[in-house]
Amino acid sequence: MLITIPDVLTPEQVAHARRLFDAAEWVDGKGTTGYQAAKTKDNMQLPDSSPAAREVGDMILQALGKGPLFMAAALPLRILPPMFNRYSGGQSFGTHVDNAIRQVPGTPLRIRTDLSATLFFAAPDEYDGGELCVEDLYGIKKVKLPPGHMVLYPSTSLHHVTPVTRGTRLCSFFWLQSMIRDNGQRSLLFDLDVSIQRLGGQLAGNPVAEQTAVQLTGVYHNLLRQWAEM
């Protein structure tokens, strides 16, 4: 399940983040990936200790906590602090799969990476290339979103970033552990949640719709109760 989540950040928040990025010190991105992925990774990243990374990361997490679409799609249990990368001058990231377990920086806590997220800060017309290409059963999906928009996809997916041949691609990326480990179960719960919300707009003066909504809500929570890991 690949889901686009629009307007996670406002234009004003994006502009503020980019000012921080312009003043920040970037380092080689190979230092934050596994042995295999490092062979194909060519980009720059903000260090975990960067004040810009911490400020913008907190901004993203606060915004996501208020986002009903994100909460419905991810059912998050734990979220790693957002990281930030920059691609330019032909830089790219070859096909890879994300590490299954990642450690929260500065802590002994480890999380299972169920979902990967990429949030865009540069407009698509600011750079050529730089598409996030995610492989699934139906082929390759190319993603290049407006500033402030985010894509969420299973961490089990093979994916890559195409070379940036003009301009600069700026993104945040991070991982999360969901309360629902299985992607198929998580997708079913998301579809059910969306259907219940749509049905909610038809409840006024319709007893049958009201009863159906209550029943479906019960099914949703009983499935969540059965499948959730805490």
Q: How far apart are CA 230 and CA 227, in angstroms?
A: 10
Quick one: pLDDT at residue 30? 82
Q: Write out the DSSP string of 86-99.
A: EEETT--EEEE---
Do 3-178 and 183-227 come out as alike in CATH topology?
no
- In this predicted structure, which of 47-51, 62-66, 137-141, 197-201 has the lowest mean pLDDT? 197-201
Q: Read off the pLDDT of residues 160-172 as tens digits, 9 standing for 90 and up.
A: 999 999 999 999 9
Which is the CATH superfamily of the domain at 3-178?
Answer: q2cbj1_9rhob like domain (2.60.120.620)
Per domain, the residue ranges of the chain are 3-178, 183-227
Q: How far apart are CA 28 and CA 46, in angstroms?
A: 9
Structural contact between residues 194 and 72, judged by C-beta atoms closer than 8 angstroms: yes
Structural contact between residues 159 and 108, judged by C-beta atoms closer than 8 angstroms: no
Q: Is the pTM of this model over 0.85?
A: yes
Reply yes or no on domain 183-227 having CATH 4.10.860: yes
Q: How far apart are CA 217 and CA 102, in angstroms?
A: 34
- Cβ count near 9 (within 10 Å): 23
Quick one: pLDDT at residue 84? 98
Q: What Å distances lie between residue 130 and 67, 190, 197, CA to CA?
A: 26, 29, 35
